[in-house]
Amino acid sequence: MIGIRRNRGWLKAALWAGVALGAFAPLLLAACGADPHVPPPSETAAGTPPVALDTLAVTGTSASGERLRVIMPALTLERPVSNMPVRVLVALVDPHGTYSYLLHPVSPLAENTRQISLVDHPLEVGISAGTPYVALWIVAFQPVDDSAISTQNLDALATSLALSFRSWLNTGDPADDPLAGTVGASDGALYAWFAGIDVQGQALARLDAAGGWETELRTIAAPDGGISAVFDVDYLPPTSEATPAPVRAPAEDEFTLLLDETFDNPASAVRWFQGRAPTFINEVAGSGYQIRLLGASRGSTAISWGSLSGVRIARGRIEADARLTESDAAEASYGIWLRYQDDNNFLSVSLSSQGEYRVTVVESNRVQRVIQDWQQHPAIHTGAATNTLSVELHADGRHDLAVNGVHLLTFRDRTFGEGAIAFFCAARSVPATCRLENLRVWQAAG
């Protein structure tokens, strides 16, 4: 367990000094080719605390791989708190692999009740033979000034905290306060948020592979006594991945098949964007929608995309069979843009030629939220092999992502509502060609 420095006033001053010096590091390249940067925090002003939201949770595990499950029956705030919203972030992180988190809002706490049960919200994280340890981090805070983080992007806050915590575990000073290290590792994204909260307490536990993953009930507490938690750890062994579950077509009473695009119908040429330029050729050809990249149009990355006209979806299921045509394409990726508003606003689901996946939210031609950074997964075929990518979109903003019948990620995002669908192709070296060979769209009834 790592000690907590109490002089938060000094820490805030140091962090705000970093903001004044423009300490905002660039994020990874946006899908649409811009050079995105974390936007500077807005000026703080007194605001009314938002009402509590449902618990936000993200897990990056596969149901077929090794994983740890942490259940927390009791989390206690040891000191009285004001009648303000209390938010509890719990992150379970493999420093070199996947992460999971939940953000639990309580607004307000019942009188004389400072215990929160998270037994209905277990956390799971994928592990492997090379995982040396997994970190469990709990932080409780009250938003004294919530202007930097609105109710609409609490998802982005939780994701940034989890990713920055993982960055601190890998490159930060282990003697540092976990929250200070996490905020510092965010390259400016969390500075304004940190300046507008009152920390009730935080605790950190390390689960070591050497000691055996599975443990009985354990208790961790903040060094200053602000928070304590009881938790249980279960090790879940891998199941067979030799025969992945077949891709599930939604039941008829859940969704209605809206489109089964095989690109054999002459109408396909009307539904999809087709065009040519010195850097790309987009066309319906050979029973597929094909994007040929001929040159880099933005920086060092070649990219092109095409949207499907006449189909907009808010709830339902999208399933795409896609591949690269070159088995040796370097740093190439392809995928689907969901809830597509226009060329600058969409939810991007990407697969790479190296067997990785990534999920991001792009607004105003910038990556505004990294839901899942590039992550390797054995279910994703590499090279020129075809991958079946499917996403279910639910009314509460939940998205279930699977590839080749294997669940990869469940996340929630409500940035965009109803939107169109686009297929994209990107590569660092050209020529490179991506093909969308089938697209099936089901829509929720009613």
pLDDT at 378: 87
Across the range 176-201, mean pLDDT stands at 90
- Report the pLDDT value the prediction gives residue 152, as an integer from 0 to 100: 44
pLDDT band at 169 (very low <50, low <70, confident <90, very high): very high
Kindly tell me the sign of the dihedral angle through the C-alpha atoms of 344, 262, 357, 397.
positive
DSSP state letter for 122: -
d(CA 16, CA 11): 9
| Confidence (pTM) | 0.53
- Of all residues in the chain, what percent carry a pLDDT higher than 70? 76
Q: Specify the pLDDT at position 45.
A: 28
pLDDT in tens, 104-115: 876 545 544 577
Mean pLDDT, residues 134-161 taken together = 77
Band (208; pLDDT cuts 50, 70, 90)? confident
User: Which residues sit opposite 57 in a β-bridge?
Assistant: 102
Higher-confidence residue of 14 and 221: namely 221
Q: How confident is the model at residue 396 (pLDDT cuts 50, 70, 90)?
A: confident
> Tell me: the pLDDT tens digits for 334-385?
999 999 999 989 999 999 999 999 999 998 888 888 888 888 888 999 988 9
Question: Which class would CATH give 255-444?
Answer: mainly beta
Band of residue 255 on the pLDDT scale cut at 50, 70, 90? confident
Whether 288 has a pLDDT exceeding 70, the answer reads: yes
What residue spans define the domains of the chain?
Answer: 8-236, 255-444
Of 337, 397, 410, residue with least CA distance to 60: 410
pLDDT(179) > 90 = yes
Class of domain 8-236: mainly beta
pLDDT of residue 61: 63
> Mind giving me the DSSP string for 328-378?
T-TTEEEEEEEEEEETTEEEEEEEETTSEEEEEEEETTEEEEEEEEEEE-T
Measured between alpha carbons, how far is 133 from 205 in angstroms, rounded to an integer? 10
Q: List strand residue ranges (DSSP E) for 286-331, in order.
A: 289-293, 302-313, 316-324
In this predicted structure, what is the pLDDT of residue 402? Answer: 93
Express each pLDDT in 125-139 by its tens digit. 888 878 889 999 999
